[in-house]
Structure formats: structure tokens, C-alpha cells
């Protein structure tokens, strides 16, 4: 069984848990208490030198970085659960294109907005609303493009769901909880896509904790 070392509510831990659910891969969550700084302790740093969650131990194979973990698990178990990464070269290239879109045109803006609106206040630090406004302005233009793309196909890489869609879920959900759901809902194709991926059983199983 895959041992998932992470924090139940962390975005990246839940992404790995989501992939495990989609791929029907049993996993055991080994809780890392971020509030106590366990991710910065020597034993953890010895395995994950950046002191971040999660990492996995798959029968002695250690891997960190949630996107790398997700790809590894998907490719290790190609014949069970949801495919998530195509094997046809052209389809895989479209998946990689979509994955790059998420990293550069979504996560790059949504993650710091969530950090400002949710993570900083939890630590007693004031939100920098000017930073939020600037990031949100840039994100709006990106989501307009998403709406065009998703007006031509069901998902970002075509008409089948892939990892590139699912990577939007943890931070996208936090973005909505931070008061920005309208940014998805006001764009019809984005709204349809967001409703489809955010209601997947695998996500519903982990959205409140890995």
C-alpha cells in the first residue's frame, strides 16, 4: 500500500489522494502536523529536503512533488481506474499542453490569491488586498481564454478528463471558498467544466481531507 506522508487538508496532499481515488489505489495517510512544524524536523527533511508535504513511500520508493507523484501513480497503474494520462502521442501532447496551461495560467495566480486570502490570515498576517486585486485582474483574462477553449471541448485536453483538469481542484476549491466562485460561475463553459470536475466522486471523497 502507498504510504502518503502529508497533511489531510493540504492542497498538494489532497491532489495525490484524489489521484489514488481515481486510480483505485489504496493508500495510507501518514499524518504530518504542519502546525507543529513536523515537516521541518530533521527526520522529515532527510526524506523531503524542502520540508514540504507530501511525499510517498511506495514499497521503499520515495517520491515528492505532488504532480510528479500523480504522474508516477497514473503510469504505474495504467489499467485500473480512470486513465488520466493518454498514451497516444498526440493525445499525450495535448495533455501536456493542458498541464502547462494549469501551471502557468491558473496555479500561478490562484495559489498566491489563496495564500493571501486564506493562509496568511490563519497565521495572523494581514491580507495584501492590492496584491490580490492585481493577481485577480490577470487571472480574469486567463479564465476568459479558458472559456474559449472549453467552448470547443469538454475538458482542457479534449473530451476526456485528465490529470490536467484534476490539478485545478484543490486550489480552485479554496479559491471559491475565499469568495471568488463567481469567476467560474460567470463564464458558461468554465462553469460547466468546473461543475463536472468538482462533482467527481473521487474529489468529493477527499475535498474535506485526504
pLDDT in tens, 40-78: 999 999 999 999 999 999 999 999 999 999 999 999 999
Domain boundaries, the chain: 2-76, 89-205
Q: Helix 66-76 to helix 11-22 angle, to the nearest 10 degrees?
A: 10
User: What are 148-172's pLDDT values in tens digits?
Assistant: 999 999 999 999 999 999 999 999 9
pTM over 0.85, yes/no:
yes
- Could you give phi then psi for residue 155, rounded to 5 degrees? -130, 175
**Residue 15: what pLDDT?**
98
Buried b (16+ CB within 10 A) or exposed e, 173-196: bbbbebebeebbeebebbbebbee
The model's pLDDT over 74-130, given as tens digits with 9 standing for 90+, comes to 999 999 999 999 999 999 999 999 999 999 999 999 999 999 999 999 999 999 999
Q: If pLDDT is split at 50, 70 and 90, which confidence band does 3 have?
A: very high
Q: Which tens digit of pLDDT belongs to each residue from 10-48?
A: 999 999 999 999 999 999 999 999 999 999 999 999 999
How distant, in Å, are the alpha carbons of 31, 34, 154 from that of 123?
Answer: 20, 12, 39
Q: Dihedral of CA 8/29/69/159: which sign?
A: negative
Mean pLDDT of 132-148: 98
**Domain 89-205 coded CATH 1.20.1050.10:** yes
Could you report how far apart the first and last alpha carbons of the chain are, in Å? 15
Specify the fold of 2-76.
Glutaredoxin (3.40.30)
pLDDT at res. 39: 98
Place of cell 493508500: 27
Amino acid at each position: 500500500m502507498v504510504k502518503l506522508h502529508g497533511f489531510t487538508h493540504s492542497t498538494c496532499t489532497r491532489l495525490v489522494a484524489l489521484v489514488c481515488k481515481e486510480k483505485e489505489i489504496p493508500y495510507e495517510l501518514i499524518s504530518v502536523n504542519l502546525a507543529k512544524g513536523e515537516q521541518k524536523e530533521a527526520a522529515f527533511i532527510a526524506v523531503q529536503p524542502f520540508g514540504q508535504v507530501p511525499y510517498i513511500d511506495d514499497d521503499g520508493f520515495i517520491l515528492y512533488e505532488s504532480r510528479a507523484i500523480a504522474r508516477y501513480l497514473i503510469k504505474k497503474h495504467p489499467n485500473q481506474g480512470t486513465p488520466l494520462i493518454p498514451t497516444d502521442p498526440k493525445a499525450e501532447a495535448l495533455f501536456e499542453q493542458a498541464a502547462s496551461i494549469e501551471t502557468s495560467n491558473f496555479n500561478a495566480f490562484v495559489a498566491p490569491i489563496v495564500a493571501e486570502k486564506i493562509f496568511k490570515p490563519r497565521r495572523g498576517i494581514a491580507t495584501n488586498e492590492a496584491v490580490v486585486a492585481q493577481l485577480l485582474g490577470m487571472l480574469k483574462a486567463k479564465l476568459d481564454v479558458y472559456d474559449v477553449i472549453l467552448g470547443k471541448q469538454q475538458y482542457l485536453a479534449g473530451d476526456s478528463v485528465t490529470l490536467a483538469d484534476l490539478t485545478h481542484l484543490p486550489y480552485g476549491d479554496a479559491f471559491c471558498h475565499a469568495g471568488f466562485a463567481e469567476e467560474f460561475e460567470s463564464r458558461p463553459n468554465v462553469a460547466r467544466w468546473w461543475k463536472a470536475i468538482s462533482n467527481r466522486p473521487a474529489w468529493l471523497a477527499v475535498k474535506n481531507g485526504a
